[in-house]
Amino acid sequence: MTTHSLLLLPGDGIGPEVMAQVERVIAFFGKRGKASFKTETALVGGAAYDKHGVAVTDETVAKAQTVDAILFGSVGGPKWDKVAYEHRPEAGLLRLRKDLDLFANLRPAICYPALAEASSLKRELVEGLDILILRELTGGTYFGEPKEIVTLENGQRRGVDTTVYTTGEIERIARVAFDLARKRSGKVHSAEKRNVMVTGLLWNQVVTALHAKEGQGIKLEHILADACAMQLVRNPKQFDVIVCDNLFGDMLSDEAAMLTGSIGMLPSASLGAPDPKTGKRKALYEPVHGSAPDIAGQGSANPIAAIASYGMALRYSCDMPHEADMIDKAIAGTLARGFRTSDIMQPNMRKVGTADMGTAILEELATVAK
């Protein structure tokens, strides 16, 4: 029997609360006996800073390099507002992404039928929505140098962030977009700002050239990133796969998340390149939502995004697509039965906390498994 090694990094805020529910779901699949899971837990973010003075330790990064998948919770919170910039909680996540070269960030935005009313858009605009934002995750404005605040001779201070992309970085993410689109409707929108940014111009040229070379069967459309943001709320179902750089992807994925009713619903996968020998990709799975310090510790957070992230790990790292489908079905079924955490609460539904939502999903899983 295959054993999959998982590194759990619950992090800060609601991270540990939602991860506790993920552990119950891991135990469920462990007991079913198709594969076993070996889990280890480590600190990240503010929790790591409090104990070790850094947002992630070298040992944890080394461990992360060796496991089949990392399950990440969330990091950050007001408690660490005054911490030096290089040690802020988010730095732990960014280092993991960069050191493991997790360049491809898959952020599906799926509107469960039961939640169409919870969206801030009209039901007909979002019902059945199933789009995938593919965000480049290791380049662009997040990591470009120089990145600094300098004091000028006239006493003013100047902050600089730098957006940098090479052809290789653009090609590899565009290739992932085409591969993913082939398993979906075959349509890719590439979003950039070629009208203002030279990185956008290069992005457009490289994606176009790769499409001519490797994009057989793919319908490629270029869209300016600002227009993409607008079209996402005007007519989101026109999209299937949207590929974009790191910064635009950060924003467009939050926007897309909200279309589905709650950012508490959405999972994500961050993947590296396949290993030339084994074909395996390094991978980190995390909910798109943040640490939600305002509700942390109350047991009210929505664990669905974290559980769905484990589902993505089953699909992309454990070769267990059937089990991944089971999780998706169990989530949809639980919502259809009326269970709601407060972020997605609607009239006449059953309001539950984090643990009860976990229990409801496990019950549903048991039914789906029959």
List active site positions.
142, 193, 226, 250, 254
Q: Are 21 and 306 within 8 A, CB to CB?
A: yes
Residue 93's binding partner out of Mg ion, ligand IPM, none, with CB under 5 to 8 Å set by partner kind? ligand IPM
Q: Which amino acid is at 129?
A: L
Q: Are 328 and 306 within 8 A, CB to CB?
A: no
CA atoms within 13 A on the CB side of 202: 14
Minimum CB separation from Mg ion for residue 323, in Å? 28
Q: Which amino acid is at 284?
A: L
Neighbours of 186 (CB within 10 A): 15
Minimum CB separation from Mg ion for residue 21, in Å? 22
Of residues 138 and 204, the one with the C-beta less far from ligand IPM: 138
DSSP 184-210: TTSEEEEEE-TTT-HHHHHHHHHHHHH
**Tokens (6 digits) for 87:** 């040690």
**Tokens (6 digits) for 81:** 């507002």
Contacts of 196 (CB under 8 A, 6+ apart): none
Compose the 85-104 pattern: x for residues touching ligand IPM by CB under 6 A, - for all others. -----x--xx----------
Site residues for ligand IPM, window 224-263 (CB under 6 A)? 250
Compose the 20-39 pattern: x for residues touching ligand IPM by CB under 6 A, - for all others. --------------------
Of residues 136 and 250, the one with the C-beta less far from Mg ion: 250
Residue 180's binding partner out of ligand IPM, Mg ion, none, with CB under 5 to 8 Å set by partner kind? none
∠ CA 311-187-261 to the nearest 5 degrees?
50
Q: Which amino acid is at 229?
A: A
Minimum CB separation from ligand IPM for residue 76, in Å? 6
Q: Does 136 bind ligand IPM (CB under 6 A)?
A: no
Identified binder of Mg ion from the candidate list 136, 169, 245, 250, rule CB under 5 A = 250
Binding site for ligand IPM (CB under 6 A): 90, 93-94, 250
